[in-house]
Amino acid sequence: MEDLTHEEWSEQLAKDKKAVIIDVRTDEEVADGIIPNAIHIDIYRGQDFIDALEELDKSKNYYVYCRSGNRSGQACRIMEELGFKHAYNLEGGILEWQGDIVDID
């Protein structure tokens, strides 16, 4: 796992052809908007969260965020334990995000 600032996360994400964005916030938080193309997997769903992660392609690079960076850091550590090689935590979470945010469909 690597903690990245908003700037590092954005730059790396823009160049990464194997990038997948994961939002680990709650449904209520996601209702306020989501980073475009992010997959929503609520970390508070326990085993369902683990099951959803295990369905993901471990050869991809995962850019993970939450509200403030704490839960996404936990999610990245869980991903590492599950065998993911590249998980990047957005320091400061969506509170520090300066890019686009869209409503979830």
Which residues does the annotation mark as catalytic? Answer: 66
Query: Edge to edge, what strands does the sheet with 19-23 contain?
Result: 2-4, 87-90, 61-65, 19-23, 39-40
For 1-105, strand residue ranges (E) read: 2-4, 19-23, 39-40, 61-65, 87-90
Whether the Cβ atoms of residue 1 and residue 79 lie closer than 8 Å to each other = yes
